[in-house]
Structure 1
Amino acid sequence: MSIYQHFRQEEKEFIDQVIQWRTYVENAYAQKLTDFLDPREQHILQAMIGTHSNVKWELFGGTDDSERKRALLYPEYLPIEKEDFHITLFQIDYPKKFISIEHRHVLGSLMSLGLKRGKFGDILLNGDNVQFFAAEGISEYIQMELRSIGKAAVTLKKIPLYMAIQEEKCWKEHSITVSSLRVDSVISSMFRISRQKSQLYVQQGLVKVNWTVISQASFICEEGDIISVRGGGRGKVLSIDGKTKKEKWRMIVGIQK
């Protein structure tokens, strides 16, 4: 039985990478620290490593409730500390009286430096306070090169991880039923819009699953998926609880608007 059949076709490359990481730790008796992983990648890593392997793993993204986290794979006899994750927290200073900075502005500016998304973690906003986590290995490069975000001139200041701000997040759990696990059906029930409208959002490139634009309305959703509709909201498939007597799927979802 192939391990790939339990995952999506497009996840094969990441699965192979996890296997390489595990093999390295087993053979070299050394730690392996990954880039920041999104929740779906974290789920795959946990499933692939398991709980009975000689290789252990921990996840940390700067705070215990970070969404994007680095994984540390290590031999079971090695102790680990939070410092082993090598994460830097940046505070962004900018002229707050004259301009505002949004999540997309920070993301775009970091990507424009030629960085992979995995090199930095959560972007935190609370009012006009803006911070982000980054891999320690590239922190000097970011601090030297990132001079503006959007239209704002900025300076970056490294601060201790315990000073991370608490984001103004509001997730609400809901129980829904869907006719199928297709993304258009899930979006329709999750955000209480028509199936036709959810299909249109997909066609227009406004829907992302696990931070990847989805172009097919027939895409099948799974537990742990983060689904976002540009301008419409963000949700997570928390659990899929089987079918009802009428052959509809029962799901628990978290919704953030």
Structure 2
Amino acid sequence: MRVLAIDGLAKTYEGAPAPVLSDVDLSVPEGQFICVLGPSGCGKTTLIRIVSQLIDPDTGTVQVAGSDTYRPGEDVCMVFQDHGLFPWYTVAKNIEYGLRIRHFPAQERKARVDRYLELIGLTGFGGRYPDQLSGGMRQRVGLARALACEPRVLLLDEPFAAVDAQTRERLQDELLGLWEQQKMTVLFVTHSIDEAAYLSDRVIVLRTLARQETDDLSPSICDDVVSELPRPRDRTTEAYREMLVRLRASLERAGG
């Protein structure tokens, strides 16, 4: 079943010399993990912000489960690069925030908070505040807040970019574990070839449009790379290295 459908999406920011997105068409089956890769300025973040309804496209449509009236915070949820936690709320109150504004009963909110604290390995931390957590822990809380809403589509905008390499790899494994448990559809923005190879079923490579003539624009999607790597992924294999080479070549064609 197709859970996310993007058709003819285009976006130009006011005052910009060229569009940031052009003629984006993307069909995503339910449960698929997709990474969006591309050079700076290619529209990766713009794309998922349009899907999350934080900004509007100039043209084109986005549908979730066949509807273009889907609900952000319910059908789709976003995890930001800077975690986006409210510093004046405890961990538990941050996680339940989306449930509270949707008027979930207190008992259900508590049950979900407890469940997702356990899933992210932070049982016992519900009473802490964000400034009492490490960077990696804050990102896990941001992820739990989105997952607690149990969305059809989870959007992530370079969520691990600000943490060290060791923490990043641990968070990648934790995210994959949660994805396999929840069977959700994921759209994950990254600038890292390795991260895209390690996480995704498909890698959507976006090209930069800044150097193209506006009357003869190519579609933003430069390549749609389907991964045949088995899970769990092993970074030491020849097949994994070949995937990195393939993605690097695609990124170079995209202008990266």
Normalising to structure 1: TM-score of the pair?
Answer: 0.22
Normalising to structure 2: TM-score of the pair?
Answer: 0.22
Which of structures 1 and 2 has the bigger CA Rg? 1
Higher relative contact order (CA 8 A, sep 6+): 2
More strand by share: 1
